[in-house]
Amino acid sequence: MVAKTILIVGGGVVGLCTAYYALRAGHRVIILERGGPDHDSCSLGNAGMIVPSHFAPLAAPGMVSYGLRAMWNPESPFYIRPRLSRELVDWGWKFIRSATPAKAAQTEPLLRDLSLASRQCFADLAREWGNDFGLVQKGSLMLCKTEHALRDEAALAERANRLGIPAHVLTAGQVARLEPNVAMDVVGAVYFPQDCHLIPQRFVAGLTRRLQAEGAQFFWHTEVRGWCIRGRRVECACTSDGELEADEYVIAGGAWAPQIARGLKVRLPMQAGKGYSITLAQPRQLPEMCAILVEARVAVTPMPLDGVLRFGGTMEITGLDESISPARVRGIVKAACAYYSAFSEEDFRDRPVWRGLRPVSPDGLPYVGRLRHYDNLSIAAGHAMLGLSLGPITGRLMAQVLSGARPEIDIGLLDPNRFG
């Protein structure tokens, strides 16, 4: 393998994991991040869940009708702001066309393989790094308040088992025995023993520290604004700091990837899916495992290393607008108190609300791989709700692509050229 200089745009979890595995493969690495060393990104305040249980793509059968119903409730976890935008209409149309049983059957085995491989990467990194990012491997609970939701989750559990992802349907009593320290008002749950969780800020900080220690070059406060192209080759990235040259370039700019790729010969349909999280510094009770409050679509993550409990949710398709909607945050708080009976809305008063923009592709799969019209330009973006989960395997696959090796998992379905 020839050692190359690889320039990566974006210092979120996907860009950093790409840098980490590329460095380990023997390449030199440059990371350009428009924020500073303490910048915020979607990779920091998320729910920190690593979820083989999420094998069904976001563009799944039933999502379109769910979205249309949820749109009209200001506290609901899902919203699309109607806008006169060609990109939004095009994205919506592609989403609808992808949300079919046939597409799901094609996608699910790949999401399973990616998740399980990434989970193994996290376990290996926890061993190597002394688990300084608080990896907890105890599984997750899909908590249901209604029999109807439990029936749907049980059907999903059956599909998971058929795919080789263990899932167990539990009664309320069995849930209480699994989580003895937390009072829950639920009718039952599905338990996914292979899911795990971690503290995302610690993981990102750990990656950054190790990359710096191992010689990666960070250019902070450096925004990529364009590209110098000659024929099939990118000659340099045009940045707020001048022109920067490398042998290979990777766009890992999350929800901003289409902006960064503007002017290039590629169509990357993508919408930002805004979500919020609130972290309780001194929670009344701390569950053992992470959970999804199914009807409310809220994720709950205990972070025992820091003694905190995080609640995260909502998917608002409102462009790159990063403002906070108090009504939707209220929806998260109400759900938390409805499922965990010891908690009250008072517990959340004055807690800061974090927001992040998920990069959402219309078919529920990320864009990972080389761009067809260039010899030295790749994309790693569009992981939607799975960017943390799939960060390490994306990094490892990208390192293989950049080294000219055959990727360990067939990434044909992730081809960034798939929409033209």
Ligand X SMILES: Cc1cc2nc3c(=O)[nH]c(=O)nc-3n(C[C@H](O)[C@H](O)[C@H](O)COP(=O)(O)OP(=O)(O)OC[C@H]3O[C@@H](n4cnc5c(N)ncnc54)[C@H](O)[C@@H]3O)c2cc1C
8-state DSSP, 408: S
Q: How far is the CB of 1 from ligand X (least distance, A)?
A: 25
Q: Which is nearer to ligand X, 174 or 415 (CB)?
A: 415
Contact predicate 204/16, CB 8 Å: yes
Contact predicate 250/9, CB 8 Å: yes
Name the site residues for ligand X (rule: CB under 6 A): 9-15, 32-35, 39, 41-43, 46-49, 223-224, 252-256, 260, 275-277, 299, 312, 356, 358-359, 381, 383-389
Q: Which is nearer to ligand X, 149 or 332 (CB)?
A: 332
At which residue do the structure tokens 């989970």 appear? Answer: 119
Q: How far is the CB of 300 from ligand X (least distance, A)?
A: 10
The beta-strand segments (E) located in 318-400 are 353-360, 367-370, 377-381
Q: How far is the CB of 207 from ligand X (least distance, A)?
A: 11
Length of the chain: 420
Q: How far is the CB of 386 from ligand X (least distance, A)?
A: 5
Q: How far is the CB of 354 from ligand X (least distance, A)?
A: 8
CB atoms within 10 A of CB 372: 13
Q: Which is nearer to ligand X, 269 or 275 (CB)?
A: 275
Q: What is the signed CA dihedral for 193, 198, 200, 202, rounded to 10 degrees?
A: -160
Q: How far is the CB of 97 from ligand X (least distance, A)?
A: 23
Is residue 40 packed enough to be buried (19+ CB in 10 Å), middle (13-18) or exposed (0-12)?
middle
Q: Which is nearer to ligand X, 173 or 242 (CB)?
A: 242
Tokens of 62: 């039933």
Q: Which is nearer to ligand X, 185 or 243 (CB)?
A: 243
Taking CA 202 as the corner, what is the angle to CA 411 and CA 32, rounded to the nearest 5 degrees?
A: 60
Taking Cα atoms as reference points, which of 208, 228, 294 lies closest to residue 23?
208
Q: Which is nearer to ligand X, 148 or 209 (CB)?
A: 209
